[in-house]
Amino acid sequence: MSDDAELKMDRPVGETALDRGVQGLVGEPVPRVEGRRKVAGDVPYALDHRVDGQLAHGFAICASIGRGRVEGFDTEEASAMPGVLAVIVDDPLIPRETGGFSDKKLVRGTGQVEHWGQTLGVVIAESFEQARAAANAVRVRYTSEEGRYDASASHGTAKPTGKDAMLPDLVMGDVDGALKHAEHALDRTYTTPTHIHAAMEPHAAIAWWEGDKLTVYNSSQILSLAKSMLAASLDIDEKNVHVMSPFVGGGFGGKGGLGVESVFAALGARKIGRPVKMAITRQQLFHLVYRRSETSQRIRLACGADGKLTAFGHDSIVSQKPGRDFFEPCAFGSIALYRGENRSFTQRVMTLDLPETGSVRAPGEAVGMLAVECAMDEMAEMAGIDPVEFRKLNEPKEDPSRHRPFSERHLVACLDEGARQFGWSRRSASPGKKREGDWLIGHGMASCIRINQLSEARARVRLAANGDVTVEADMTDIGTGSYTILAQIAGEILGAPIERVSVRLGDSDFPKAFGSGGSMGAASAGSAVELAAEDILKTIAMKLGIEARELKLKDGHAIAGERRVPLSECVDRSIEAIGHIEPGKMEDKFDQASYGAHFVEVGVNRSSGETRVRKVTSVFAAGRILDPQTARSQVIGGIIWGIGGALTEGGEVDTRYGSIVNHDLAEYHVPVNADIPPIDITFLPELDNKTNPLKIKGIGELGISGIGAAVNNAIYNATGVRVYDFPVTLDKLLEGLPQE
């Protein structure tokens, strides 16, 4: 590998080999390369792998109190049950809960119960059913203590996050003073409930030992992190740990660190000398995997008669369990979104004895934009200005909080194009004016934003003499299309049809490529692939005695000027390179984000209060779109989740005991097919050379941002009822619905 395969993003990127590519893969809707295998059921997820040896099964023993101490275990009955191989409750390495992105290792048991459902041990048995029965037969003796479970009763205990927090408080000018003297002022508080990860594939692992060497198949978004956390959690050398996760059935942040199942499977396998398979059940997941915090968000806006904001405040109260630093950064998207010289973005954290809070899809923007964009709608109405025009009026020329330029920002173009496609001009500005029988019809819109990030990543690319291309990285595919887009990038630069590119992912022995999370997986791993492929192109150009910019590869041929020769004539052996990307000064010099606009039509039944989303039109600007088909899937998934957050989704905490009572998908309501209309998606052309060599921005979490507010704004337009407490369930609408 030459130094040319390394890049630190300290300056804008010029023309790249990807820009000059002629294979015709990037920017085209290439079907998923693993799609046929998935349809055929030929893709192995964590529990599907076959391993040598007779598999045993693990089942977690979980706390049945919300706070207190464990005084002892009665395990005799469980140990004597059929098929039971081990009951592990006294190992000092027992983990308490899933580890998140910022953890070094899983927190171990101390005898203290810090929340309902915390893991206390594991049963290993010949079958899943036997392990489950025995785990339920273990009797735990507790001393219970009074717990703090009620978020609404704990707001007064919330404390500042501190200047070293991941999102420090930012206050400029005097927001309250601006509100006092403004022509129009708004001061509203919006609340959202706790949200739970609900990935289709369970959190699961298979582990076995060969001497001191541990191998684990699991469901993980970031393999390098899972590997290091697993080694630290078991007090073993990281070089003795091998983690594989070639396919992941959804993660959404909940599989960003390491789950207890990997540690328990490893402990059990070491104990019985056999491979152990273990999955966390859906009911257990609600307490074992970190959740999104409930929030209370105070939005303050002030503007003059011209509609231009003079104040913008977004101050939040969120929760966390004792000893944890993460907090839901509600104001992430707000800080640079709209103008206003008086500004306040603060976070306060209250301590609750509930499962820890952590990263759930689009931490910050997912719930933060619910509040901001509903407030912007109400403020536009107060000022007598169309909601689209009100947002355009308050478009800043630079980041108004940190006074730095935008890398690329086309929010106004998204607003204009979305309004045009949706037919926004036909909307009635007066609520409750459009009806179809018993249905009140309304239209709403919202802006959306997702901060753009880049992580250090490496990837290996190999070009064979026959033109075949191989890509290797520990990058994961959590259903987002990583296999496909990495094949497109490598194939585009090296002139290989998609069927001649082999992508190997999800193995911790491959180069470290960060993984999937934070909407930066494609940018990070993809940039490493681009750099490696470009380095190979330079090697070929050198052999031909030309500059790399003069060389193009297509369908296994090298093309330079009028010359076109088979690649085999200029490549006599495999060429390999490792690309290495690092974030640099660009992320501090420029405000980087993806943008979009949502437009929604709803129908609200005036008799029942039922809300039906009838139409969604969304327009996004997110840099180069590598594959419009996978990109469309990504944002549609986010939009569906955001609709669920607006109308149905929320964890119900029993404030007496600290348990989440709707701990399955029968009672924790997420949208189904019948709830979602056709969704129209448009990506505007954009290249952002401040972000990465691919000139792309993240889209995985963009769709969820703002869509819930667009739904709520449409409900108001249909009914005249504004709701400030999410989700917008029937009971919150019925009393205010027009009856005439």
Strand 653-654 relative to strand 659-660, pairing: antiparallel
Return the number of other C-beta atoms located less than 10 Å from residue 678's C-beta: 8
Dihedral sign from CA coordinates of 178, 180, 181, 184: positive
Angle, CA of 68, 71 and 72, to the nearest 5°: 130
Residue 316 CA to residue 293 CA, distance in Å, equals 11
Burial 363-398 (b: 16+ CB within 10 A, else e): bbbbbbbbbbbbbbbbbbbbbebbbbebbbbbebee
Return the number of other C-beta atoms located less than 10 Å from residue 146's C-beta: 9
Residue 508 CA to residue 344 CA, distance in Å, equals 43
323 Ramachandran zone, left/alpha/beta (phi>0; psi -120 to 50): left
Q: In a 3-state reduction of DSSP, which class is residue 614? A: strand
Residue 530 CA to residue 21 CA, distance in Å, equals 11
* Residues in a beta bridge with 717: none
Is there a catalytic annotation at residue 701? Answer: yes
Residues 434, 435, 440, 443, Cα dihedral to 10°: -30
Q: In a 3-state reduction of DSSP, which class is residue 692? A: coil
388-391, Cβ contacts within 8 angstroms, sequence gap of 24 or more: 388/415, 388/416, 388/419, 388/424, 388/445, 389/307, 390/307, 391/338, 391/415, 391/447
524 Ramachandran zone, left/alpha/beta (phi>0; psi -120 to 50): alpha
Cβ neighbors of 634 (< 8 A, separation 6 or more) are 480, 481, 699, 700, 702, 703
- The alpha carbon of 82 is separated from its chain's Cα centroid by a whole number of angstroms, namely 42
Cβ neighbors of 665 (< 8 A, separation 6 or more) are 198, 282
Whether residue 511 has a cis bond before it, omega within 30° of 0: no
Tokens found for residue 376 = 């912007």
- The alpha carbon of 228 is separated from its chain's Cα centroid by a whole number of angstroms, namely 21
642 Ramachandran zone, left/alpha/beta (phi>0; psi -120 to 50): alpha
Dihedral sign from CA coordinates of 26, 28, 33, 38: positive
Among 6, 701, 735, 740, the active-site one is 701
Strand 213-218 relative to strand 241-244, pairing: parallel
Cα–Cα separations (whole angstroms), residue 482 to 303, 477, 521: 45, 5, 8
Residue 733 CA to residue 739 CA, distance in Å, equals 12
Q: Are 712 and 370 in contact (CB under 8 A)?
A: yes
Tokens found for residue 678 = 């056709």
Cα–Cα separations (whole angstroms), residue 504 to 381, 461, 509, 580: 53, 10, 11, 17
Measuring CA to CA, which residue among 623, 601, 574 is closest to residue 707? 601
Residue 291 CA to residue 578 CA, distance in Å, equals 37
Q: Which amino acid is at 510?
A: F
70-73, Cβ contacts within 8 angstroms, sequence gap of 24 or more: 70/111, 70/112, 70/113, 70/120, 70/140, 70/141, 70/142, 71/141, 71/142, 71/143, 72/140, 72/141, 73/120, 73/121, 73/138, 73/139, 73/140, 73/141
User: Any idea which residues carry the catalytic annotation?
Assistant: 701
